[in-house]
Amino acid sequence: MLDLTDIETCYGNARALYRASLHVGAGEVVALMGRNGMGKTTVIRSIMGLTPPNRGTVSFQGRLIHTLSPYKIARMGIGLVPEGRQIFPTLTVRETLLAVAANYTGSPDPYTMERVFAIFPRLKERVNHLGRELSGGEQQMLAIARALMINPSLLLLDEATEGLAPILCREIWQGLKLLKERGMSLLVVDKNIKQLLEISNRCVIMEKGSVVWKDQAPFTRFSDQVKMRYLGV
Ligand code: ATP
CATH code of residue 43:
3.40.50.300
Ligand 1 atom nearest residue 191's Cα: 2
Looking at residue 111, its pLDDT comes to 94
Looking at residue 207, its pLDDT comes to 97
Q: Is residue 128 part of a domain?
A: yes
Q: Is residue 63 part of a domain?
A: yes
- Whether the pLDDT of residue 224 is over 90: the answer is yes
Q: Is residue 55 part of a domain?
A: yes
Q: Is residue 224 part of a domain?
A: no
Give the model confidence (pLDDT) of 177-208 as tens digits.
Answer: 999 999 999 999 999 999 999 999 999 999 99
User: Residue with the nearest Cα to atom 19 of ligand 1?
Assistant: 37
Q: Is residue 161 part of a domain?
A: yes
To test the pocket of ligand 1, the residue of 38, 81, 205, 212 to mutate (highest count of ligand atoms within 8 Å of its CB) is 38
Lining residues, ligand 1, CB within 6 Å: 11, 14, 16, 34, 36-42
Q: Is residue 204 part of a domain?
A: yes
Domain that holds residue 154: 2-215
15 CB-contact burial (10 Å; exposed 0-12 / middle 13-18 / buried 19+): middle
Task: Report the number of distinct structural domains present in the chain.
Answer: 1
Q: Is residue 188 part of a domain?
A: yes
Q: Is residue 226 part of a domain?
A: no
Number of alpha carbons in the 13 Å side-chain half-sphere of residue 89: 2
CA of 15 to the centre of ligand 1 (A): 10
